[in-house]
Amino acid sequence: MGCGNFFFSLIITFSVALITYNAIISANAPLRQDFPGPSKSNPSSSDGFMSVDPIIKMPLDRSRQSSKRLFHTAVTATDSVYNTWQCRVMYYWFKKFKDGPNSEMGGFTRILHSGKPDRFMDEIPTFVAQPLPAGMDQGYIVLNRPWAFVQWLQQADIKEDYILMAEPDHIIVKPIPNLSKDGLGAAFPFFYIEPKKYESVLRKFFPEEKGPITNIDPIGNSPVIVGKESLKKIAPTWMNVSLAMKKDPETDKKFGWVLEMYAYAVASAFHGVGNILYKDFMIQPPWDTAVGNKFIIHYTYGCDYNMKGELTYGKIGEWRFDKRSYDRVWPPRNLPMPPPGVPESVVTLVKMVNEATANIPNWGS
């Protein structure tokens, strides 16, 4: 028993001595402050050490990968009362949602193609473009849109790499992310843009060697999010095709007021820029009744209802909201709300117009 205690005490004493020795050695060793990895000394040095578990470096462009793909919102307009009140309402809601969750909205420009500044230059960021020479638009003022974009893209300092082409009668209803990807634009598909139906007409401007007619997407120029460099190529062709279509009696008759929309679709296809057709980009009351997860309300159509909340399209309603009612005068503040039963989309539209006009200084002055 005594012999056993002796050997146990000897083992304990030896262990304590070994631990103390290691502690002393460790305390006097130089502290390494670099990350685990290959020795920074030359492998042929006396150290001669190479780690078998080298450090894996973080990607150098990690911050770039996680950064937002901002787009610049551009709206073409004249200095008319009609365009101006719509632009003021649109810009109000742009500012409201610009910094919201998931937004990739960058700067904003009203491209004013009346040729001279107006009194709202300080309220809305504006680029002044020159209109087409007198008579060239043949009374179709929308032909100034592509020419205005050509000037803006050539002369303005646009920081963002993408452009959202929008219109004065768009109201943004929530923050918009960059919906484009992989070199494709993102565009709203219009049911009345039918390239296949008008192939014989479109082949005048989109020859067969450019590919099948189905390469032309059923879109206009707005709303579209597209790469800035792509748009710089598209815009001059869009302008030239628009003018050529207007000069061609058959094309002008077939396409009418949507001629410039077809011209953009042709120009985009001509330069090989396809588009993601994004139906949730916007709604168009009164036909679209719910806002849902859409990003834009486009109020191009008149909204006419009786007091029962029933649509009376084609007939002026007991209650109505139509932007054309205010082509020469400012809409008043606090427009009457629609009667019960009118769809959410129309109710939301009027509420948003009312909020904007209530908060925009000097409304209607």
- The per-residue pLDDT of the chain, averaged, comes to 87
Q: Answer whether the bond into residue 285 is a cis peptide, omega within 30°.
A: no
Instruction: Find, among 275, 90, 313, the residue nearest to 188 by Cα.
Output: 275
3-state helix, strand, coil in the chain (%, to 5): 40, 15, 50
pLDDT tens-digit profile of 215-240? 999 999 999 999 999 999 999 999 99
Comparing CA positions, the residue from 108, 74, 71, 64 lying closest to residue 226 is 71
Six token digits for residue 256: 């009418």
Give dist(CA 114, CA 141) in Å, integer.
Answer: 11
What is the average pLDDT across 84-98? 98
pLDDT of residue 288: 97
pLDDT computed for residue 67 by the predictor: 86
Q: How far is Cα 276 from Cα 272, in angstroms, rounded to an integer?
A: 13
pLDDT, residue 106, reads: 98
- Name every residue whose Cβ is closer than 8 Å to that of residue 17 and which is 6 or more positions away in sequence: none
Q: What is the pLDDT of residues 14-58, one digit of tens each?
A: 443 433 333 333 333 333 333 333 333 333 333 433 333 333 333
Query: For residue 148, what pLDDT is reported?
Result: 98
* H/E stretch holding 253: helix 249-255
What's the confidence (pLDDT) of residue 104? 98
**Type of residue at 312:** T
Mean pLDDT for the stretch of residues 136-152: 95
Q: Which pLDDT belongs to residue 365?
A: 72
Phi and psi of 200, rounded to 5°? -60, -35
CA distances (Å), origin 198, targets 219, 238, 346, 361: 14, 18, 33, 47
pLDDT of residue 129: 98
**DSSP per residue over 282-330, as a string?**
EE-TTT----TT-SEEE--S-EEE-TTS-B-TTS--SEEE-GGGGSSSP
Of 282, 304, 305, which Cα lies nearest the Cα of 293?
282
Look at residue 167 and tell me whether its pLDDT is greater than 70. Answer: yes
**Cα-Cα-Cα-Cα dihedral of 62, 64, 65, 71, to 10°?**
170
* Average pLDDT score over residue span 70-91: 98
Closest CA to 211 of 304, 264, 273, 299: 273
With a pLDDT cut of 90, the percent of the chain lying above it is: 80
Strand-pair category, 162-166 with 71-77: parallel
Nearest 5 degrees, angle CA 102-CA 108-CA 109?
160
pLDDT score of 61: 44
Query: Which amino acid belongs to residue 145?
Result: R
pLDDT digits (tens, 9 = 90+) for 281-323: 999 999 999 999 999 999 999 999 999 999 999 999 999 999 9
- Residue 75 to residue 181: CA distance in whole angstroms: 22
Residue type, 18: L
Q: What is the pLDDT of residue 66?
A: 52
Check pLDDT > 90 for residue 13: no
Largest CA distance in the chain: 121
Work out the average pLDDT over 154-166.
98
What is the CA 49 to chain-centroid distance, rounded? 54
**Ramachandran assignment for 304, one of left (phi > 0), alpha (psi -120 to 50 degrees), beta (any other):** beta
- Helix (H/G/I), strand (E/B), else coil: 61: coil
For residues 291 and 231, what is the distance between their CA atoms, to the nearest angstrom?
29
Percentage, residues of the chain above pLDDT 70: 82
More reliable by pLDDT, 249 or 31: 249
User: How far is C-alpha 306 from the chain's CA centre?
Assistant: 37
Average pLDDT over residues 209-213: 97
| Structural tokens at position 151 | 């000037």
